[in-house]
């Protein structure tokens, strides 16, 4: 099985409102990634998007982005894994290179979510639930995450103070990220004064609805020889779980995230103690806490503690959301998994400026589809 390397990255600023359409967003990100890699010859383009057909009325998105980016005629496919669609595109690119099918792949995630009103968007996001058991009965992503928060608070005897540090940390790290949608800090008072949107879930517990696109260029060893140093993808894995939250044996145990991490650790020959930074799927603060537990950084019921001790900060033991994460950089759902890898790449290449994690050599990213129904994990290492 061949090694896979990240040769270049590109992204558009995340926005709560953009005049660009989804095709142009994806095209801009792909063009920037190709420029960063210094490449013009590409074998295939894989694009992840959750809502391109529903919001933008555009299917066959990958073919259109290929055309816009000057790649017309290459293999171009669109990948859907709900909020993990972008990470799914990266996974497809890794498989193609590992198998020897292609030498150069571009993986892109693109989403234009602000075309509909908030209620319509919330309803559309319910498509990432088990529709027959949850969505059609009035459940949505907000209500399900609120249920998780309630269960966690009741089982482990914590209050909202357990969740606050994760929101504060994300906003602290987004201040110097020119591509973040929220470039301001928040205080504890701001968190506690933010309105409850689905008890006990507060507005500042949740990532915003956004537009954006990110892209990475992946290459085999043959192509990598022209790019040194660079970043190798040491693991690319997927795990899945029972879709309906109420049907899971233990809703607070994210089985998809656990299995995906375990496979990634085995594939890479590493463990959680080797990870220098972790880009978690922090769409909700409760998911961040459960992700830290699923990845082995904390025991069950203790995932909130790294937030209280400062271990999640840039100079901490396990930095997370280093450029603002989904929470403050923004969460254009199908693109977020690629943004995470772009952020990890910048860290490993010492290109994160004020947000640089000192000595970062190994990074892990994890992207969720729905309420961790699908979890896609990547481990990256600077070569």
- Whole-prediction pTM value? 0.97
Q: Is 83 a known active-site residue?
A: yes
pLDDT the model gives residue 175 = 98
The percentage of residues in the chain with a pLDDT greater than 70, rounded to a whole number, is: 100
Chain centroid, CA 298 distance in Å: 20
Q: Is 164 a known active-site residue?
A: no
Beta bridge partners, 201, equal 198
Mean pLDDT (the chain, rounded): 95
pLDDT the model gives residue 18 = 77
Judging by beta carbons within 10 Å of its beta carbon (0-12, 13-18, 19+), is residue 64 exposed, middle or buried? buried
pLDDT the model gives residue 261 = 98
Which is more confident, 174 or 139? 174
pLDDT the model gives residue 224 = 78
Neighbouring C-beta atoms of residue 229, cutoff 10 Å: 11
Q: Average pLDDT, stretch 152-162?
A: 97
Annotated catalytic residue, options 171, 331, 346, 378: 331
Residue 156 has pLDDT above 90, yes or no: yes
pLDDT the model gives residue 58 = 83
Domain spans in the chain, listed from the N-terminal domain onward: 4-117+208-382
Which is more confident, 227 or 208? 208
pLDDT class for 155, splitting at 50, 70, 90? very high
Instruction: Mean pLDDT check: name the lowest of 50-54, 167-171, 186-190.
Output: 50-54
Residue 373 has pLDDT above 80, yes or no: yes
Class of domain 4-117+208-382: alpha beta
pLDDT the model gives residue 347 = 98
pLDDT the model gives residue 123 = 80
The b/e string for 9-27 (b: 16+ C-beta within 10 A; e otherwise) is bbbbbbbeebebbbbbbbb
**Residue 69 in tokens:** 């980016």
pLDDT the model gives residue 300 = 98
pLDDT class for 152, splitting at 50, 70, 90? very high
Annotated catalytic residue, options 83, 94, 108, 164: 83
């Amino acid at each position: 099985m061949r090694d896979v390397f990240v040769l270049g990255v590109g992204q558009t600023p995340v926005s709560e409102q953009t005049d660009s359409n989804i095709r142009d967003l994806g095209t801009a990100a792909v063009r920037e990634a190709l420029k960063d890699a210094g490449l013009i010859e590409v074998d295939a383009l894989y694009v992840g998007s959750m809502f391109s057909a529903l919001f933008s009325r555009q299917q066959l998105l990958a073919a259109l982005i290929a055309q816009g980016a000057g790649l017309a005629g290459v293999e171009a496919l669109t990948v859907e894994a709900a909020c993990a669609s972008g990470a799914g595109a990266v996974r497809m690119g890794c498989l193609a290179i590992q198998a020897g099918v292609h030498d150069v792949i571009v993986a892109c995630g693109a989403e234009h979510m602000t075309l509909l009103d908030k209620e319509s968007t919330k309803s559309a996001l319910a498509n990432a639930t088990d529709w027959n058991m949850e969505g059609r009965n009035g459940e949505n992503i907000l209500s399900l995450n609120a249920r998780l928060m309630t269960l966690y608070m009741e089982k482990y005897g914590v209050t909202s103070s357990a969740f606050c540090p994760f929101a504060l940390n994300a906003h602290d790290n987004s201040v110097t990220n020119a591509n973040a949608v929220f470039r301001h800090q928040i205080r504890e008072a701001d968190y506690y004064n933010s309105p409850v949107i689905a008890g006990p879930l507060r507005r500042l517990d949740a990532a915003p609805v956004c537009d954006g696109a990110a892209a990475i260029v992946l290459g085999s060893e043959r192509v990598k020889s022209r790019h040194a140093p660079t970043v190798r993808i040491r693991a690319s894995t997927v795990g899945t779980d029972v879709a309906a939250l109420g049907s899971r044996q233990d809703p607070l145990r994210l089985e998809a995230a656990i299995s995906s991490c375990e496979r990634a650790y085995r594939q890479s020959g590493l463990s959680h103690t080797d990870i220098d930074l972790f880009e978690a799927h922090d769409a909700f603060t409760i998911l961040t806490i459960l992700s830290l537990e699923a990845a082995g950084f904390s025991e069950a019921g203790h995932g909130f503690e790294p937030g209280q001790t400062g271990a999640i900060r840039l100079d901490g033991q396990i930095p997370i959301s280093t450029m603002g994460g989904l929470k403050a950089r923004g969460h254009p759902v199908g693109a977020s998994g690629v943004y995470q890898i772009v952020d990890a790449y910048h860290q490993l290449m010492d290109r994160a400026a004020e947000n640089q994690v000192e000595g970062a050599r190994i990074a892990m990213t994890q992207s969720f589809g729905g309420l961790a129904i699908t979890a896609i994990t990547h481990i990256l290492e600077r070569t």
